[in-house]
Structure 1
Amino acid sequence: MRKLAKRVSLSVFAVAMSTAAAFAADMQAPPFVEYEPLPPVEIGSGWYLRGDLGAAAYSGGHGSWLPVASADPEFYNEHIENGLVAGAGIGYYFNEKLRGDLTVDYHGKAKLTGNAPCTELNCSTIETLNFSAWTLMLNGYYDIGTWNSMTPYIGAGAGMAYLRTSDYTTTKGYAFGDYGKVNFAWNVMAGASFDISDRLKFDTNYRLVSLGTARTDHPTTNPSENPVKFENLYAQEIRVGLRYDLN
Protein backbone atom coordinates (compact mmCIF):
# COMPACT_ATOMS: atom_id res chain seq x y z
CA MET A 1 0.00 0.00 0.00
CA ARG A 2 2.82 2.37 0.88
CA LYS A 3 4.60 1.56 -2.35
CA LEU A 4 1.45 2.33 -4.32
CA ALA A 5 1.01 5.69 -2.60
CA LYS A 6 4.61 6.52 -3.25
CA ARG A 7 4.29 5.67 -6.93
CA VAL A 8 1.14 7.75 -7.24
CA SER A 9 2.86 10.75 -5.58
CA LEU A 10 5.84 10.47 -7.91
CA SER A 11 3.55 10.25 -10.92
CA VAL A 12 1.60 13.36 -9.90
CA PHE A 13 4.83 15.29 -9.29
CA ALA A 14 6.22 14.26 -12.69
CA VAL A 15 3.02 15.36 -14.45
CA ALA A 16 3.06 18.72 -12.62
CA MET A 17 6.68 19.37 -13.54
CA SER A 18 6.04 18.46 -17.17
CA THR A 19 3.06 20.79 -17.31
CA ALA A 20 5.05 23.65 -15.75
CA ALA A 21 7.92 23.12 -18.18
CA ALA A 22 5.56 23.11 -21.13
CA PHE A 23 3.84 26.31 -19.89
CA ALA A 24 7.17 28.02 -19.38
CA ALA A 25 8.27 27.02 -22.87
CA ASP A 26 5.11 28.54 -24.34
CA MET A 27 5.62 31.89 -22.53
CA GLN A 28 7.34 34.63 -24.51
CA ALA A 29 10.45 36.21 -23.06
CA PRO A 30 9.93 39.79 -21.78
CA PRO A 31 11.04 42.45 -24.25
CA PHE A 32 14.57 43.81 -23.74
CA VAL A 33 14.54 47.54 -23.09
CA GLU A 34 17.84 49.33 -23.64
CA TYR A 35 18.21 52.43 -21.50
CA GLU A 36 20.48 55.20 -22.74
CA PRO A 37 22.70 56.68 -20.04
CA LEU A 38 21.86 60.23 -18.99
CA PRO A 39 24.20 62.88 -20.39
CA PRO A 40 26.78 64.07 -17.87
CA VAL A 41 26.00 67.34 -16.12
CA GLU A 42 28.62 69.95 -16.97
CA ILE A 43 29.34 72.09 -13.95
CA GLY A 44 30.61 75.53 -14.88
CA SER A 45 29.84 75.31 -18.60
CA GLY A 46 29.50 78.81 -20.06
CA TRP A 47 30.44 80.64 -16.85
CA TYR A 48 33.45 82.86 -16.20
CA LEU A 49 35.04 84.86 -13.39
CA ARG A 50 36.60 88.29 -13.78
CA GLY A 51 38.75 90.74 -11.83
CA ASP A 52 39.72 94.32 -12.77
CA LEU A 53 41.98 97.15 -11.62
CA GLY A 54 42.06 100.66 -12.97
CA ALA A 55 42.23 104.42 -12.61
CA ALA A 56 39.26 106.80 -12.58
CA ALA A 57 39.08 110.47 -13.57
CA TYR A 58 36.07 112.17 -12.00
CA SER A 59 33.93 115.07 -13.20
CA GLY A 60 30.81 116.84 -12.02
CA GLY A 61 30.10 117.88 -8.45
CA HIS A 62 28.59 121.36 -8.66
CA GLY A 63 28.36 121.64 -4.88
CA SER A 64 25.44 123.61 -3.44
CA TRP A 65 23.40 123.73 -0.25
CA LEU A 66 20.22 121.71 0.20
CA PRO A 67 17.61 122.76 -0.65
CA VAL A 68 18.91 124.99 -3.43
CA ALA A 69 17.59 128.54 -3.21
CA SER A 70 18.54 131.81 -4.79
CA ALA A 71 20.50 132.73 -1.68
CA ASP A 72 22.48 129.47 -1.77
CA PRO A 73 25.22 129.90 -4.37
CA GLU A 74 27.08 127.01 -5.92
CA PHE A 75 30.71 126.14 -5.35
CA TYR A 76 33.20 127.26 -7.99
CA ASN A 77 36.78 126.32 -8.93
CA GLU A 78 35.92 122.71 -8.16
CA HIS A 79 38.50 120.01 -8.68
CA ILE A 80 38.26 116.26 -8.05
CA GLU A 81 41.44 114.21 -7.79
CA ASN A 82 41.80 110.99 -9.75
CA GLY A 83 41.29 107.72 -7.88
CA LEU A 84 41.67 103.97 -8.09
CA VAL A 85 38.96 101.44 -8.87
CA ALA A 86 38.94 97.66 -8.32
CA GLY A 87 36.26 95.11 -9.01
CA ALA A 88 35.26 91.49 -9.48
CA GLY A 89 32.36 89.63 -11.01
CA ILE A 90 30.84 86.48 -12.44
CA GLY A 91 29.53 86.15 -15.99
CA TYR A 92 27.95 83.84 -18.54
CA TYR A 93 28.40 83.28 -22.31
CA PHE A 94 24.97 83.14 -23.95
CA ASN A 95 26.49 82.42 -27.35
CA GLU A 96 29.59 83.30 -29.36
CA LYS A 97 28.61 86.97 -29.54
CA LEU A 98 26.60 87.78 -26.41
CA ARG A 99 27.61 87.52 -22.77
CA GLY A 100 26.71 89.18 -19.50
CA ASP A 101 28.07 89.54 -15.99
CA LEU A 102 27.29 90.86 -12.53
CA THR A 103 30.09 93.02 -11.13
CA VAL A 104 30.94 94.77 -7.87
CA ASP A 105 33.42 97.66 -7.96
CA TYR A 106 34.96 99.87 -5.31
CA HIS A 107 36.08 103.42 -6.05
CA GLY A 108 38.64 104.49 -3.49
CA LYS A 109 38.53 107.84 -1.74
CA ALA A 110 38.92 110.84 -4.04
CA LYS A 111 39.36 114.40 -2.79
CA LEU A 112 37.03 117.18 -3.96
CA THR A 113 38.06 120.80 -3.46
CA GLY A 114 36.09 123.95 -4.22
CA ASN A 115 35.38 127.51 -3.19
CA ALA A 116 32.11 128.66 -1.62
CA PRO A 117 31.06 132.32 -1.39
CA CYS A 118 30.62 133.89 2.03
CA THR A 119 27.87 136.25 3.12
CA GLU A 120 30.46 138.99 3.53
CA LEU A 121 31.60 141.00 0.52
CA ASN A 122 34.52 139.58 -1.46
CA CYS A 123 34.75 136.56 0.81
CA SER A 124 35.11 132.89 -0.07
CA THR A 125 35.99 129.70 1.75
CA ILE A 126 37.90 126.61 0.68
CA GLU A 127 35.79 123.47 1.05
CA THR A 128 37.29 119.97 0.87
CA LEU A 129 35.89 116.49 1.33
CA ASN A 130 36.51 112.90 0.29
CA PHE A 131 34.02 110.68 -1.46
CA SER A 132 34.11 106.97 -2.25
CA ALA A 133 31.69 104.64 -4.02
CA TRP A 134 30.57 101.04 -4.32
CA THR A 135 28.75 100.00 -7.50
CA LEU A 136 26.72 96.88 -8.28
CA MET A 137 26.10 96.50 -12.03
CA LEU A 138 24.39 94.03 -14.34
CA ASN A 139 26.23 94.30 -17.67
CA GLY A 140 25.74 93.04 -21.20
CA TYR A 141 28.41 92.74 -23.92
CA TYR A 142 28.59 92.18 -27.67
CA ASP A 143 31.81 90.48 -28.81
CA ILE A 144 32.38 91.79 -32.34
CA GLY A 145 34.71 89.02 -33.52
CA THR A 146 38.12 87.46 -32.95
CA TRP A 147 41.26 88.28 -34.95
CA ASN A 148 44.67 86.91 -33.97
CA SER A 149 43.41 86.08 -30.44
CA MET A 150 42.00 89.62 -29.97
CA THR A 151 38.27 90.13 -29.42
CA PRO A 152 37.00 93.73 -29.39
CA TYR A 153 33.65 94.36 -27.71
CA ILE A 154 31.16 96.99 -26.62
CA GLY A 155 28.93 96.89 -23.57
CA ALA A 156 26.56 98.67 -21.23
CA GLY A 157 25.16 98.12 -17.77
CA ALA A 158 22.88 99.43 -15.06
CA GLY A 159 22.57 99.02 -11.32
CA MET A 160 23.15 101.09 -8.22
CA ALA A 161 25.89 103.12 -6.59
CA TYR A 162 26.49 103.78 -2.91
CA LEU A 163 28.32 107.10 -2.50
CA ARG A 164 29.80 108.16 0.82
CA THR A 165 31.20 111.57 1.71
CA SER A 166 33.65 112.00 4.59
CA ASP A 167 36.36 114.21 6.13
CA TYR A 168 34.70 117.53 5.28
CA THR A 169 36.76 120.60 6.12
CA THR A 170 36.27 124.34 5.54
CA THR A 171 38.32 127.45 6.15
CA LYS A 172 35.31 129.28 7.52
CA GLY A 173 31.90 128.19 8.74
CA TYR A 174 30.67 124.67 9.48
CA ALA A 175 32.25 121.26 8.87
CA PHE A 176 29.62 118.86 7.58
CA GLY A 177 29.18 115.29 8.79
CA ASP A 178 29.77 112.05 6.85
CA TYR A 179 26.88 110.64 4.84
CA GLY A 180 26.07 107.69 2.55
CA LYS A 181 23.54 107.72 -0.30
CA VAL A 182 22.28 105.11 -2.80
CA ASN A 183 21.64 106.15 -6.43
CA PHE A 184 20.70 104.59 -9.74
CA ALA A 185 23.88 104.11 -11.78
CA TRP A 186 24.71 103.15 -15.36
CA ASN A 187 27.74 102.61 -17.56
CA VAL A 188 28.86 102.24 -21.16
CA MET A 189 32.15 100.70 -22.22
CA ALA A 190 34.35 99.53 -25.06
CA GLY A 191 37.38 97.28 -24.89
CA ALA A 192 39.16 94.18 -26.11
CA SER A 193 40.21 90.83 -24.70
CA PHE A 194 43.30 88.84 -25.62
CA ASP A 195 43.56 85.06 -25.34
CA ILE A 196 46.34 83.97 -22.99
CA SER A 197 45.22 80.31 -22.97
CA ASP A 198 42.07 78.32 -23.72
CA ARG A 199 40.51 79.55 -20.49
CA LEU A 200 42.36 82.73 -19.51
CA LYS A 201 41.91 86.12 -21.19
CA PHE A 202 43.54 89.50 -20.61
CA ASP A 203 40.99 92.33 -20.76
CA THR A 204 41.45 96.07 -21.16
CA ASN A 205 38.65 98.60 -21.50
CA TYR A 206 37.41 102.18 -21.21
CA ARG A 207 34.26 102.69 -19.12
CA LEU A 208 32.11 105.74 -18.41
CA VAL A 209 30.11 105.42 -15.17
CA SER A 210 27.33 107.69 -13.96
CA LEU A 211 27.43 107.63 -10.16
CA GLY A 212 24.62 110.11 -9.45
CA THR A 213 24.53 112.54 -6.53
CA ALA A 214 26.53 112.60 -3.30
CA ARG A 215 25.66 114.67 -0.25
CA THR A 216 26.93 115.45 3.22
CA ASP A 217 25.14 115.19 6.53
CA HIS A 218 24.15 118.27 8.51
CA PRO A 219 26.98 120.20 10.19
CA THR A 220 28.19 118.49 13.34
CA THR A 221 28.15 121.77 15.28
CA ASN A 222 24.89 123.11 13.85
CA PRO A 223 22.39 120.36 12.94
CA SER A 224 19.84 122.90 11.73
CA GLU A 225 22.11 123.99 8.85
CA ASN A 226 21.37 122.46 5.44
CA PRO A 227 23.73 119.77 4.11
CA VAL A 228 25.69 120.10 0.84
CA LYS A 229 25.00 118.10 -2.31
CA PHE A 230 27.29 117.28 -5.25
CA GLU A 231 25.40 116.43 -8.44
CA ASN A 232 26.11 114.55 -11.67
CA LEU A 233 29.26 112.72 -10.60
CA TYR A 234 30.89 110.75 -13.42
CA ALA A 235 33.91 108.48 -13.55
CA GLN A 236 35.91 107.87 -16.71
CA GLU A 237 37.88 104.68 -16.14
CA ILE A 238 40.74 102.86 -17.83
CA ARG A 239 40.81 99.28 -16.53
CA VAL A 240 42.80 96.10 -17.06
CA GLY A 241 41.88 92.66 -15.79
CA LEU A 242 41.63 88.94 -16.29
CA ARG A 243 38.72 86.66 -17.27
CA TYR A 244 38.83 82.96 -16.44
CA ASP A 245 36.43 80.60 -18.20
CA LEU A 246 35.11 77.85 -15.93
CA ASN A 247 34.09 75.38 -18.68
Structure 2
Amino acid sequence: MQRFLIVTLTALTFAIPGPVDAANKKYFSLMIGPSFRTDADSSFSGSRVAGNPRGEQDVSLGGVGGAAAGMYLPDNFRIEGEVAFRNNGVDEPLPAFRDWNVGAATLMVNGYYDIPVRHQIQPFVGLGMGLGLATSSLEDNFGFSDTDTDAVFAYQFIGGLQYRHNHRLSFFTSYRYFATTDPDFQFGGVRAQTDLDSHDLVLGVRFDFE
Protein backbone atom coordinates (compact mmCIF):
# COMPACT_ATOMS: atom_id res chain seq x y z
CA MET A 1 0.00 0.00 0.00
CA GLN A 2 2.77 2.49 0.90
CA ARG A 3 4.54 1.84 -2.43
CA PHE A 4 1.25 2.40 -4.29
CA LEU A 5 0.67 5.72 -2.49
CA ILE A 6 4.19 6.92 -3.24
CA VAL A 7 3.87 6.09 -6.94
CA THR A 8 0.46 7.77 -7.14
CA LEU A 9 1.57 10.99 -5.45
CA THR A 10 4.71 11.12 -7.58
CA ALA A 11 2.60 10.86 -10.72
CA LEU A 12 0.32 13.63 -9.48
CA THR A 13 3.31 15.87 -8.80
CA PHE A 14 4.60 15.53 -12.35
CA ALA A 15 1.07 16.05 -13.70
CA ILE A 16 0.89 19.58 -12.25
CA PRO A 17 1.82 22.11 -14.92
CA GLY A 18 5.03 24.06 -14.67
CA PRO A 19 5.20 27.85 -14.72
CA VAL A 20 2.38 29.41 -16.70
CA ASP A 21 1.80 32.84 -18.15
CA ALA A 22 1.08 35.53 -15.56
CA ALA A 23 -2.31 36.10 -17.21
CA ASN A 24 -3.48 32.85 -15.62
CA LYS A 25 -5.01 33.99 -12.35
CA LYS A 26 -4.44 32.28 -9.03
CA TYR A 27 -7.21 31.74 -6.51
CA PHE A 28 -7.95 30.63 -2.98
CA SER A 29 -11.20 28.96 -1.87
CA LEU A 30 -12.96 27.78 1.28
CA MET A 31 -15.75 25.20 1.57
CA ILE A 32 -17.98 23.62 4.21
CA GLY A 33 -21.00 21.33 4.27
CA PRO A 34 -22.65 18.10 5.43
CA SER A 35 -21.08 14.72 4.73
CA PHE A 36 -23.40 11.74 4.22
CA ARG A 37 -21.21 8.68 4.67
CA THR A 38 -22.71 5.47 3.31
CA ASP A 39 -23.45 2.58 5.68
CA ALA A 40 -20.14 1.19 6.89
CA ASP A 41 -19.29 -2.33 5.75
CA SER A 42 -16.99 -3.29 8.63
CA SER A 43 -15.32 -6.28 10.26
CA PHE A 44 -13.89 -6.71 13.75
CA SER A 45 -11.44 -9.22 15.17
CA GLY A 46 -9.15 -9.66 18.15
CA SER A 47 -9.09 -10.73 21.76
CA ARG A 48 -11.66 -8.14 22.87
CA VAL A 49 -14.20 -9.17 20.21
CA ALA A 50 -16.18 -12.41 20.22
CA GLY A 51 -16.99 -14.18 16.98
CA ASN A 52 -15.19 -11.80 14.59
CA PRO A 53 -18.43 -10.00 13.62
CA ARG A 54 -18.87 -8.44 10.20
CA GLY A 55 -21.67 -6.40 8.68
CA GLU A 56 -23.08 -2.96 7.95
CA GLN A 57 -23.51 -0.25 10.57
CA ASP A 58 -25.65 2.87 10.32
CA VAL A 59 -23.58 6.03 10.09
CA SER A 60 -24.63 9.38 11.53
CA LEU A 61 -24.51 12.65 9.62
CA GLY A 62 -21.07 14.20 9.57
CA GLY A 63 -19.36 17.27 8.18
CA VAL A 64 -16.68 18.29 5.70
CA GLY A 65 -14.60 21.44 5.48
CA GLY A 66 -11.54 22.48 3.57
CA ALA A 67 -9.45 25.02 1.71
CA ALA A 68 -7.78 25.04 -1.69
CA ALA A 69 -5.30 27.11 -3.70
CA GLY A 70 -5.22 26.88 -7.47
CA MET A 71 -4.87 28.52 -10.84
CA TYR A 72 -6.90 29.02 -14.00
CA LEU A 73 -5.58 27.28 -17.12
CA PRO A 74 -6.40 27.82 -20.81
CA ASP A 75 -9.58 26.34 -22.34
CA ASN A 76 -11.69 26.63 -19.16
CA PHE A 77 -9.58 24.26 -17.05
CA ARG A 78 -8.46 24.78 -13.46
CA ILE A 79 -6.11 22.89 -11.17
CA GLU A 80 -5.75 23.17 -7.40
CA GLY A 81 -4.31 21.65 -4.27
CA GLU A 82 -6.87 20.98 -1.55
CA VAL A 83 -6.75 20.22 2.17
CA ALA A 84 -9.99 18.87 3.65
CA PHE A 85 -11.33 17.19 6.78
CA ARG A 86 -14.29 14.81 7.17
CA ASN A 87 -15.75 13.02 10.18
CA ASN A 88 -18.70 10.70 10.87
CA GLY A 89 -19.86 8.61 13.80
CA VAL A 90 -21.29 5.09 13.67
CA ASP A 91 -24.68 4.91 15.43
CA GLU A 92 -24.49 1.30 16.69
CA PRO A 93 -21.06 -0.21 15.97
CA LEU A 94 -21.39 -3.37 18.12
CA PRO A 95 -23.15 -4.25 21.40
CA ALA A 96 -19.79 -4.14 23.21
CA PHE A 97 -18.89 -0.66 21.90
CA ARG A 98 -20.74 2.58 22.55
CA ASP A 99 -18.79 5.02 20.39
CA TRP A 100 -16.89 4.70 17.10
CA ASN A 101 -15.88 7.66 14.97
CA VAL A 102 -14.12 7.54 11.60
CA GLY A 103 -12.77 10.56 9.75
CA ALA A 104 -10.12 11.56 7.26
CA ALA A 105 -7.76 14.44 6.61
CA THR A 106 -6.91 14.61 2.91
CA LEU A 107 -4.36 16.32 0.69
CA MET A 108 -5.58 16.16 -2.90
CA VAL A 109 -4.96 17.53 -6.38
CA ASN A 110 -8.21 18.48 -8.13
CA GLY A 111 -8.72 19.21 -11.81
CA TYR A 112 -11.82 21.07 -13.07
CA TYR A 113 -13.48 21.94 -16.33
CA ASP A 114 -15.68 25.05 -16.22
CA ILE A 115 -18.39 24.44 -18.82
CA PRO A 116 -18.66 27.61 -20.95
CA VAL A 117 -22.08 29.30 -20.82
CA ARG A 118 -23.32 32.86 -21.38
CA HIS A 119 -24.57 33.31 -17.85
CA GLN A 120 -23.15 34.30 -14.48
CA ILE A 121 -24.12 30.86 -13.16
CA GLN A 122 -21.71 28.34 -14.64
CA PRO A 123 -21.61 24.55 -14.22
CA PHE A 124 -18.36 22.68 -13.63
CA VAL A 125 -17.11 19.11 -13.26
CA GLY A 126 -13.97 17.84 -11.59
CA LEU A 127 -11.86 14.92 -10.43
CA GLY A 128 -9.47 14.71 -7.49
CA MET A 129 -6.84 12.25 -6.26
CA GLY A 130 -4.40 12.23 -3.39
CA LEU A 131 -3.45 11.02 0.05
CA GLY A 132 -5.77 10.55 3.01
CA LEU A 133 -4.97 10.02 6.68
CA ALA A 134 -7.93 8.09 8.09
CA THR A 135 -8.38 8.44 11.85
CA SER A 136 -10.66 6.40 14.10
CA SER A 137 -11.51 6.43 17.80
CA LEU A 138 -13.18 3.48 19.54
CA GLU A 139 -14.69 3.29 23.02
CA ASP A 140 -16.32 0.26 24.64
CA ASN A 141 -18.82 -0.05 27.48
CA PHE A 142 -16.12 -0.75 30.08
CA GLY A 143 -14.12 2.47 29.77
CA PHE A 144 -11.57 1.28 27.22
CA SER A 145 -10.81 3.78 24.43
CA ASP A 146 -8.13 4.10 21.79
CA THR A 147 -7.32 5.98 18.57
CA ASP A 148 -5.48 4.86 15.44
CA THR A 149 -4.65 6.22 11.97
CA ASP A 150 -4.02 4.65 8.57
CA ALA A 151 -2.71 6.19 5.33
CA VAL A 152 -5.03 5.56 2.38
CA PHE A 153 -5.41 6.54 -1.28
CA ALA A 154 -8.29 9.03 -1.70
CA TYR A 155 -10.25 10.19 -4.73
CA GLN A 156 -13.38 12.20 -5.49
CA PHE A 157 -15.74 13.07 -8.33
CA ILE A 158 -17.13 16.60 -8.34
CA GLY A 159 -19.97 18.43 -10.04
CA GLY A 160 -21.47 21.81 -9.24
CA LEU A 161 -22.45 25.36 -10.05
CA GLN A 162 -20.58 28.61 -9.52
CA TYR A 163 -21.75 32.21 -9.50
CA ARG A 164 -19.28 34.97 -10.35
CA HIS A 165 -20.18 37.98 -8.23
CA ASN A 166 -17.41 40.13 -9.68
CA HIS A 167 -13.90 39.74 -11.14
CA ARG A 168 -12.50 38.84 -7.70
CA LEU A 169 -15.24 36.93 -5.89
CA SER A 170 -17.21 33.79 -6.77
CA PHE A 171 -19.58 31.52 -4.85
CA PHE A 172 -20.08 27.84 -5.58
CA THR A 173 -21.99 24.79 -4.51
CA SER A 174 -21.04 21.24 -5.41
CA TYR A 175 -21.76 17.57 -4.90
CA ARG A 176 -18.77 15.34 -4.22
CA TYR A 177 -18.54 11.60 -4.14
CA PHE A 178 -15.53 10.90 -1.92
CA ALA A 179 -13.92 7.49 -1.32
CA THR A 180 -10.69 5.88 -0.15
CA THR A 181 -9.09 2.50 -0.10
CA ASP A 182 -10.31 0.62 3.00
CA PRO A 183 -8.53 1.77 6.17
CA ASP A 184 -7.35 -0.79 8.72
CA PHE A 185 -7.29 0.29 12.38
CA GLN A 186 -5.57 -1.38 15.32
CA PHE A 187 -6.90 -0.72 18.81
CA GLY A 188 -5.76 -2.49 21.98
CA GLY A 189 -7.02 -6.04 21.38
CA VAL A 190 -9.29 -4.98 18.50
CA ARG A 191 -8.69 -4.82 14.75
CA ALA A 192 -11.32 -2.90 12.78
CA GLN A 193 -11.54 -2.78 8.99
CA THR A 194 -14.12 -0.59 7.23
CA ASP A 195 -14.86 1.24 4.02
CA LEU A 196 -14.80 5.02 3.86
CA ASP A 197 -16.89 6.79 1.25
CA SER A 198 -19.38 9.63 1.43
CA HIS A 199 -21.72 11.90 -0.50
CA ASP A 200 -20.85 15.51 0.33
CA LEU A 201 -22.79 18.71 -0.37
CA VAL A 202 -20.65 21.80 0.04
CA LEU A 203 -20.98 25.56 -0.16
CA GLY A 204 -17.91 27.62 -0.88
CA VAL A 205 -16.39 30.95 -1.76
CA ARG A 206 -13.46 31.60 -4.12
CA PHE A 207 -11.18 34.66 -4.15
CA ASP A 208 -9.27 35.45 -7.35
CA PHE A 209 -5.91 37.22 -7.38
CA GLU A 210 -4.69 39.45 -10.19
Distance 1:115 1:200 in 2: 43
Equivalent residue runs for 1:54-133 within 5 Å: 54-66=33-45, 72-76=52-56, 78-107=57-86, 109-116=87-94, 125-133=96-104
The answer to whether the 8 A contact 2:150-2:185 is kept is no
Shift in Å at residue 83 of structure 1?
A: 1.3
State the Cα distance separating 1:84 from its structure 2 match: 1.5
Partners of 1:161 and 1:227 in 2: CA distance: 20
Q: Tell me, what secondary structure is at the counterpart of 1:151? A: strand
Specify the alignment match of 1:161 in structure 2. 132
Alpha-carbon distance in structure 1 between the residues aligned to 2:34 and 2:72: 27
1:188 to 131, 151, 157: 157
Matched position secondary structure for 2:181: strand
Q: Which residue of 1 aligns with 2:209?
A: 246
SS at match of 2:54: coil
Change (3 A) 1:75 1:55: same
| Inter-CA distance 115–53: structure 2 relative to 1 (3 Å threshold) | closer
Matched, 1:52 2:52: no
- Extract unaligned runs of 5+ from structure 2: 1-20
Match of residue 25 from structure 1:
none
The aligned length equals 186
Asked if structure 2 preserves the Cα contact closer than 8 Å seen for 1:127 and 1:171, the reply is: yes
Q: How far apart are 1:233 and its partner, in Å?
A: 1.1
Q: For residue 177 of structure 1, give the secondary structure of its aligned residue in structure 2.
A: strand
**Secondary structure at 2:132 match in 1:** strand
Instruction: State the Cα distance separating 1:66 from its structure 2 match.
Output: 4.8
Per the TM alignment, residue 130 of structure 1 is displaced from its structure 2 partner at its CA by 1.4
Query: More strand per residue: 1 or 2?
Result: 2
TM-score normalized by structure 1? 0.68
Residue 102 of structure 1, CA deviation: 0.7
Structure 1 runs not aligned, ≥5 long: 1-41, 117-123, 220-224
| Overall identity of the aligned pairs, in % | 22
**Conserved? CA contact 1:65–1:72, under 8 Å:** yes
Provide Cα deviations, 1:127-155, integer angstroms capped at 9, x if missing partner. 53112211111011111113321110111
1:137 equivalent in alignment to 2:108: yes
CA 1:64–1:244 in structure 2 vs 1: closer, same or farther (change >3 Å)?
same
Name the structure 1 match of 2:198: 235
- Structure number with larger C-alpha Rg: 1
Paired residue secondary structure (1:89): strand
